[in-house]
Amino acid sequence: MPLGEARRAQRRASILQHTREVLTREGYDGLTMDRLADACGVTKPTLYNAFGSKDALLAAAVQDVYGRILARAATPEGVRGLDHVIAILTVTAKVILREQERGQALLTAIRSHSHGPFGKAVHNTVREALEGAVEEMREDGELQPWVDPHLLATRVAGIERNANTEYGVGDLAGEQLVDMTIYAVCILLAGVTRGAAAERCQRLARERQAILIAAPDADAVEAAGAG
């Protein structure tokens, strides 16, 4: 990579990192481009020239994190199809839990602005990764022939987003986030998969259901799921 490009990439990475830090401390509504420029050590015109708007900058900052998270889910050799879908859901949830404070701030911002460029960009990043995994399911014969991979991936991404939202508002305990996400997705997939994949979806759904029912606040989980 030429030196000029390397410096631009380094500056971009620094801006995105500082943006996430400010978002964590101050929340979406507390951010201004002036505040972000100060935190990033650049001028406000530099931010506008590079990203165009506050929402675009925040979307890029969160997409950067999600992109690296989702890349981890696809890294192990041989992970594809249903295994890839489960890996994406698991890795995404676990990273949110590991960086709980930042995760909560991001989830709150995404939820509050889910219909704007910020929320849509984040949702689309996850959906596109899931679409690739669902397409692998089709190629491997794990899906019933009539299923449209794009629509199915969109539905799975919606389930993942709903579980994250429930966690973000406190309706779902942190230790239940992975279980609830996989439980809900496997219930959906059990109806559109076939053969060993269908059997595995049913088994995973039963296993996660047992874990959720046995949880100390199972009533809260049941109420969240009903919502």
Q: pTM value?
A: 0.71
pLDDT digits (tens, 9 = 90+) for 116-139: 555 566 667 778 889 999 999 999
CA distance 158 to 152: 10
Q: How many CB atoms lie within 10 A of CB 71?
A: 11
What is the structure's pLDDT at 201? 97
Query: Quick one: what percent of the chain has pLDDT higher than 70?
Result: 75
Q: Which of 89, 91, 111, 109 is nearest to 99 (CA)?
A: 91
Query: Quick one: what percent of the chain has pLDDT higher than 90?
Result: 31
* 47-51, 84-88, 90-94, 194-198: least confidently modelled range: 90-94
The verdict on 136 and 171 lying in the same domain is yes
The verdict on 157 and 46 lying in the same domain is no
The verdict on 160 and 188 lying in the same domain is yes
The b-or-e profile of 147-183 (16+ CB within 10 A means b, else e) is bebeebbbbbbebbbbbbbbbbeebbbeebbbbbbbb
Phi-psi region of 27 (alpha: psi -120 to 50; beta: other; left: phi over 0): left
Q: Find how far residue 8's CA is from the centre of its chain.
A: 27
pLDDT digits (tens, 9 = 90+) for 30-75: 778 888 888 888 889 988 988 888 878 887 887 777 677 666 655 5
The verdict on 110 and 198 lying in the same domain is yes
pLDDT digits (tens, 9 = 90+) for 188-217: 999 999 999 999 999 999 999 999 999 766
Number of domains into which the chain is organized: 2
What is the structure's pLDDT at 198? 97
The verdict on 128 and 166 lying in the same domain is yes
Residue 168 is part of which domain span? Answer: 56-226
The verdict on 125 and 46 lying in the same domain is no
- Taking only Cα atoms into account, the Rg of the chain, rounded to an integer number of angstroms, comes to 19
What is the structure's pLDDT at 224? 46
What is the structure's pLDDT at 8? 80
CATH assignment of the domain containing 28: 1.10.10.60
The verdict on 38 and 66 lying in the same domain is no
The verdict on 21 and 115 lying in the same domain is no
CATH assignment of the domain containing 167: 1.10.357.10
The verdict on 17 and 74 lying in the same domain is no
The verdict on 98 and 182 lying in the same domain is yes
Structure tokens at 51: 């990203």
CA distance 56 to 49: 11
